Amino acid sequence: MVTIRTGNRETDSIARERIIIEGETRNRVRFEMPSFIEYNPYKETIEEAIIRSLGSRAGNFQELAVEKGWSKADWSFPPIVDFRERINIV
């Protein structure tokens, strides 16, 4: 998470999170949708920000999934990759 603060923390804090939404469409096609979500953590939860970013007024993620026609849908943070483990220093 990246948090940018300027001045008053409750009104000016912006957090930016990378998330992945995955599930199945009505046609049973699996999907993964990576996204960056920006929100003020003092004013809304990340789930509320995800719903807002998709142009919905659903009360929670499950309602959003029904509205979008998704099944087996969920959101998560991507795994953290430690690139030091992938580098072979010779």
Q: 79: pLDDT confidence band, cut at 50, 70 and 90?
A: confident
The mean pLDDT value for 76-80 works out to 88
Q: How many structural domains is the chain composed of?
A: 1
Average pLDDT, the chain: 86
Which among 23, 16, 19 is positioned nearest to 2, based on CA atoms? Answer: 16
pLDDT tens-digit profile of 44-70?
A: 999 999 999 999 999 999 999 999 999
Candidate from 6-15, 48-57, 60-69, 80-89 with smallest mean pLDDT: 80-89
Distance (Å, whole) CA 51 – CA 13: 19
On the question of pLDDT at 30 being above 90, the answer is yes
pLDDT of residue 12: 75
Can you give the residue range of the structural domain that contains 43?
A: 2-86
pLDDT of residue 89: 54
Residue 18 phi, psi dihedral angles, 5° rounding: -95, 130
